[in-house]
């Protein structure tokens, strides 16, 4: 290891730049544009994730953030040029939704690498003679960049280096000094496959165009890495449930580290209006809320990283509560929709009905078999002291109800009246015609998206048109709305408000 006394000022600055993407970005942004890089908290988080990529701690990374928030500057231009500074033999593939955009980014990296400021710190990074093309250029050390559109052919170039595994002693040494870590990074890091905005926002609702990108990823892109250790990074705003991020998360589960950065930071139990702007320098809270008012679908996708379909959602955002308000007489109820087929969900909702609406207390939403759901439903009814439970089913519901009653006896929940009934009306028609009533009556507990994530996903993505894969949760909410105010006089409980005040 070189002693500190041998370090020149150039060595110190070069080492400082290579020690973190944030240092690197601030230094070269000033050199390129003669002004400071305005650092937001989200930049720090992105830079930390990219540092983990350079050091081999993350090999599959998704960054979801709004446009014009610095993602390309950090995760494309600076990551590639910093990676070449660490190891001039690094090989990068960079993909975007169009050749023009990918080529512009490639040219920007090449210009930075050839700049006087860069060469002053990293003279070992030299372009190979004849590397004038934007789409493919090489360093004299064998590294380089290949840039293309994500939906096009990617051939003749591989990202990263062929397996160059560290030895056990290197991996087990937790006491490495900074310079030794960077040297180790130079051996381990050999480049990356970086996908920035693989599809245009205007194309996101086209299944043909989405599938073209997703299929290209499966058939070609994922195989363009030279090692299983070569990082793959996807940076994009969420544009659709089945965009490339949704696709890889569904089809390569457990492999991806996800950094999602919505433009309004909302704590549990808060509304958007109570949130905090991610980067005041770019957008303050009032500006963001106005954007949401103008186009909530696009805002939810591009700025909140919460993709919703444009086909027309069945429900508006639900009202949320922290405490059930005083409202006269109250009733403890439950509505249960049993699973008619193997793919259906059992949905059992315990709620409190008041003059102001129905306040959801608990949701049991599962595809488990009846031998599990029958006792679980009984425990839910007993726990929330339900006195009126309605069980809807067209297939086996009566037997389910009888078994739930038997479990209630063992739980000594004698006050719960269980009734089974056949629902003969068209389910989709009932859900559609009662949707406004559901939105008006139903109150969800604050944080319900974390309490019952699958239930939340199915409810909040259910569309008026299109093939919805499941409708059990919606059917259950519809049943609650249809039964509002029915059989209440035999189910009075004035004590419930005191429990939740």
Six token digits for residue 80? 């590639």
The CATH number covering residue 250 comes to 3.40.50.300
Mean pLDDT for 216-234 is: 89
When mean pLDDT is compared over 43-57, 124-138, 185-199, 422-436, the highest value belongs to 43-57
Q: State whether 14 and 118 are in the same domain.
A: yes
Are the CB atoms for 246 and 307 separated by under 8 Å? yes
Mean pLDDT for 103-116 is: 94
How many CB atoms within 10 Å of residue 396? 14
Give the model's confidence band at 464: pLDDT under 50 very low, under 70 low, under 90 confident, else very high.
Answer: confident
Angle at 369 between CA 363 and CA 370, to 5 degrees: 80
Lowest model confidence (mean pLDDT) among 24-38, 170-184, 195-209, 350-364: 170-184
pLDDT value for 213:
92
Lowest model confidence (mean pLDDT) among 137-141, 169-173, 378-382, 412-416: 169-173
Give the model's confidence band at 181: pLDDT under 50 very low, under 70 low, under 90 confident, else very high.
Answer: very low
pLDDT value for 120:
96
**Cα gap 501→439, rounded to integer Å:** 23
Report phi then psi at 362, rounded to 5: -155, 150
pLDDT value for 171:
35
Give the model's confidence band at 179: pLDDT under 50 very low, under 70 low, under 90 confident, else very high.
Answer: very low
Q: What is the pLDDT of residues 294-303, one digit of tens each?
A: 888 889 899 9
Q: Quick check: is 296 in a domain? A: no
Q: State whether 120 and 233 are in the same domain.
A: yes
State the total domains in the chain. 2
**Domain final position from 212, 242, 261:** 261
Give the model's confidence band at 333: pLDDT under 50 very low, under 70 low, under 90 confident, else very high.
Answer: very high
Q: Quick check: is 118 in a domain? A: yes
Mean pLDDT for 57-65 is: 95
**Cα gap 215→209, rounded to integer Å:** 10
Q: Residue written as tokens 């190891």? A: 87
pLDDT over 50 (residue 499): no
Q: Quick check: is 94 in a domain? A: yes
Lowest model confidence (mean pLDDT) among 76-85, 308-317, 386-395: 308-317
Angle between helical axes of 79-86 and 41-54 (0-180°, round to 10): 40
79 vs 297 pLDDT, higher one: 79
Give the model's confidence band at 100: pLDDT under 50 very low, under 70 low, under 90 confident, else very high.
Answer: confident
Q: State whether 342 and 475 are in the same domain.
A: yes
Mean pLDDT for 318-337 is: 91
**Cα gap 395→476, rounded to integer Å:** 16
Q: Work out the end-to-end distance of the chain between its first and last CA atoms, rounded to an integer number of angstroms.
A: 66
Q: State whether 255 and 366 are in the same domain.
A: no
Mean pLDDT of the chain: 86
Q: Quick check: is 300 in a domain? A: no
If you count them, how many residues does the chain have?
A: 501
**What is the rounded radius of gyration, in angstroms, for the C-alpha atoms of the chain?**
28
pLDDT cut 70: percent of the chain above it: 86
pLDDT value for 32:
93
pLDDT over 70 (residue 355): yes
Q: State whether 216 and 331 are in the same domain.
A: no
At 63 the three-state DSSP class reads strand
Mean pLDDT for 307-329 is: 83
39 vs 467 pLDDT, higher one: 39
Mean pLDDT for 173-189 is: 43
Q: State whether 119 and 219 are in the same domain.
A: yes
pLDDT over 90 (residue 157): no
The CATH number covering residue 328 comes to 3.30.420.240
Lowest model confidence (mean pLDDT) among 2-6, 57-61, 70-74: 2-6
When mean pLDDT is compared over 151-155, 178-182, 239-243, 379-383, the highest value belongs to 379-383
pLDDT value for 457:
85
pLDDT value for 491:
55
Query: Whose CA is closest to 174, among 55, 79, 291, 48?
Result: 55
243 Cβ contact list (under 8 Å, min separation 6): 198, 199, 204, 210, 236, 307
Mean pLDDT for 81-104 is: 92
Adjacency order of strands within the sheet including 60-65: 136-138, 144-149, 91-96, 191-196, 232-236, 60-65, 257-261
**Domain final position from 243, 261, 279:** 261
Query: Whose CA is closest to 385, among 498, 497, 493?
Result: 493
Q: Residue written as tokens 């409708």? A: 471
pLDDT value for 169:
38
Give the model's confidence band at 98: pLDDT under 50 very low, under 70 low, under 90 confident, else very high.
Answer: confident
Q: Quick check: is 60 in a domain? A: yes
**Cα gap 452→114, rounded to integer Å:** 53
Give the model's confidence band at 166: pLDDT under 50 very low, under 70 low, under 90 confident, else very high.
Answer: very low
Q: State whether 211 and 341 are in the same domain.
A: no
436 Cβ contact list (under 8 Å, min separation 6): none
pLDDT value for 131:
72
Q: What is the DSSP letter of 219?
A: H
Q: State whether 93 and 21 are in the same domain.
A: yes
Q: Quick check: is 155 in a domain? A: yes
Q: State whether 332 and 475 are in the same domain.
A: yes
pLDDT value for 206:
86
Q: Quick check: is 306 in a domain? A: no
Mean pLDDT for 441-464 is: 91
pLDDT over 60 (residue 42): yes
pLDDT over 80 (residue 182): no
Give the model's confidence band at 45: pLDDT under 50 very low, under 70 low, under 90 confident, else very high.
Answer: very high
**DSSP result, 332-378:** EEEEEE--SSTTPPEEEEEEEEETTEEEEEEEEEE---HHHHHHHHH
pLDDT value for 41:
95
**Cα gap 266→276, rounded to integer Å:** 7
When mean pLDDT is compared over 123-132, 159-168, 322-331, 442-451, the highest value belongs to 442-451
Give the model's confidence band at 271: pLDDT under 50 very low, under 70 low, under 90 confident, else very high.
Answer: confident
Q: State whether 358 and 484 are in the same domain.
A: yes
Are the CB atoms for 326 and 498 separated by under 8 Å? no
**Domain final position from 222, 239, 261:** 261
Q: State whether 344 and 250 are in the same domain.
A: no
Six token digits for residue 393? 């089913």
pLDDT value for 168:
41
How does strand 136-138 pair with strand 144-149? antiparallel
Handedness of CA 286, 292, 293, 298 (dihedral sign): positive
Give the model's confidence band at 204: pLDDT under 50 very low, under 70 low, under 90 confident, else very high.
Answer: confident
pLDDT over 60 (residue 5): no
How many CB atoms within 10 Å of residue 111? 13
Q: State whether 253 and 108 are in the same domain.
A: yes
Are the CB atoms for 193 and 23 separated by under 8 Å? no
Q: Quick check: is 305 in a domain? A: no
Q: Which domain holds residue 432?
A: 319-500
Six token digits for residue 480? 């609650």
């Amino acid at each position: 290891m070189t002693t500190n006394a041998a370090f020149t000022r150039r060595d110190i600055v070069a080492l400082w730049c290579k020690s973190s993407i944030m240092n690197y970005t601030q230094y070269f942004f000033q050199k390129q544009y003669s002004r400071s890089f305005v650092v937001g908290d989200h930049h720090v988080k992105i830079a930390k994730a990219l540092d983990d990529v350079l050091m081999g701690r993350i090999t599959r990374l998704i960054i979801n953030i709004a446009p014009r928030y610095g993602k390309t500057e950090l995760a494309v231009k600076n990551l590639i040029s910093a990676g070449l500074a660490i190891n001039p033999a690094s090989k990068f593939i960079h993909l975007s939704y169009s050749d023009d955009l990918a080529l512009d980014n490639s040219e920007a990296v090449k210009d930075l690498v050839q700049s006087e400021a860069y060469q002053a710190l990293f003279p070992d990074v030299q372009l190979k003679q004849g590397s004038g093309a934007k789409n493919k250029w090489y360093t004299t050390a064998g590294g380089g960049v290949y840039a293309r559109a994500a939906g096009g052919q990617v051939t003749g170039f591989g990202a990263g280096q062929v397996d160059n595994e560290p030895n056990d002693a290197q991996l087990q040494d937790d006491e490495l000094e900074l310079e030794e870590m960077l040297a180790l990074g130079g051996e381990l890091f050999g480049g990356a496959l970086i996908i920035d905005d693989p599809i245009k926002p205007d194309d996101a609702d086209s299944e043909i165009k989405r599938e073209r990108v997703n299929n290209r990823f499966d058939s070609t892109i994922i195989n363009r890495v030279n090692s299983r250790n070569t990082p793959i990074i996807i940076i994009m705003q969420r544009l659709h449930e089945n965009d490339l991020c949704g696709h890889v998360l569904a089809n390569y589960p457990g492999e991806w580290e996800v950094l999602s950065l919505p433009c309004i930071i909302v704590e549990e139990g808060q509304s958007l209006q109570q949130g905090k702007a991610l980067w005041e320098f770019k957008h303050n809270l009032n500006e963001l809320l106005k954007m949401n008012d103008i186009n909530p679908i696009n805002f939810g996708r591009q700025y909140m990283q919460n993709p919703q379909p444009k086909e027309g959602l069945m429900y508006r955002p639900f009202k949320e509560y922290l405490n059930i308000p005083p409202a006269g007489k109250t009733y403890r109820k439950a509505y249960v929709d049993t699973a008619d087929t193997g793919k259906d969900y059992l949905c059992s909702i315990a709620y409190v009905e008041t003059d102001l609406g129905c306040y959801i207390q608990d949701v049991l939403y599962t595809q488990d078999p009846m031998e599990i759901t029958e006792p679980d439903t009984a425990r839910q009814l007993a726990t929330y002291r339900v006195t009126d439970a309605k069980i809807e089913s067209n297939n086996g519901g009566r037997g389910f109800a009888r078994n739930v009653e038997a479990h209630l006896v063992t739980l000594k929940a004698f006050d719960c009246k269980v009734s089974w009934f056949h629902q003969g009306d068209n389910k989709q028609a009932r859900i559609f015609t009662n949707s406004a009533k559901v939105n008006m009556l139903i109150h969800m507990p604050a944080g319900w998206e974390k309490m019952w994530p699958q239930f939340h996903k199915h409810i909040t993505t259910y569309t008026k048109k299109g093939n919805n894969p499941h409708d059990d949760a919606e059917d259950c909410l519809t049943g609650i709305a249809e039964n509002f105010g029915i059989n209440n006089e035999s189910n009075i409980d004035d004590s419930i408000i005191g429990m939740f005040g």
